[in-house]
Structure 1
Amino acid sequence: MGQQLQGWRSASGQRLWLSMLINAVEEISRPERRDERCDPQLLAALRAQLARPALAPMPYASAYSLRN
């Protein structure tokens, strides 16, 4: 995990992203992994990130543009 995805908006990039997500979910779903403790600092950082508001879409961006 922690890989930087370049060009994730392309079809192959989206498949790669989805594949990595599925692998991560499958890995963390294993019983021996569910019993592991998470780093408290990592959890705090994640909570802080999730507490931030989502970015609003740009008013000039088209829903159909490949550059969104």
Structure 2
Amino acid sequence: MGQRLQEWRSARAQRLWLSMLINAMEEVSRPERRDEPCDAQLLAALRAQLARPPLANTLYASAYSLRN
């Protein structure tokens, strides 16, 4: 029972995260939002974060899985 509850919570959290992502994408795709200037420091921080390699030991990753 505990395993099923954990799987349900995980699936629910994933749906919530995906729903929030879709809402954010819809918000920034509006024409009036696309015309707004972006903060240069925020863009630089984002570019720096995306340039870094991914962390090897994330919360759900396993060092022994081929799917990481």
TM-score norm. by structure 2 comes to 0.69
Aligned length: 55
Cα RMSD of the aligned pairs, angstroms, is 2.2
Match of 2:17 in 1: 17
Greater helix percent: which structure? 2
Match of 2:3 in 1: none
Runs of 4+ in 1 over 3 A off after TM superposition: 60-63
Match of 2:32 in 1: 32
Match of 1:4 in 2: none
TM-score norm. by structure 1 comes to 0.69
Pair member with larger Rg? 2
Give 1:59's aligned amino acid.
Answer: A
Distance 1:52 1:13, change over 3 A: same
Match of 2:17, SS state, is: helix
Structure 1 residues 14-59: Cα deviation after superposition (integer angstroms, max 9, x where no partner): 0100000000000000000000001111001000000001123542
Match of 2:51 in 1: 51
Find the aligned partners of 1:52 and 1:58 in 2 and give their Cα distance: 20
Q: Which moved more, 1:54-63 or 1:30-39?
A: 54-63
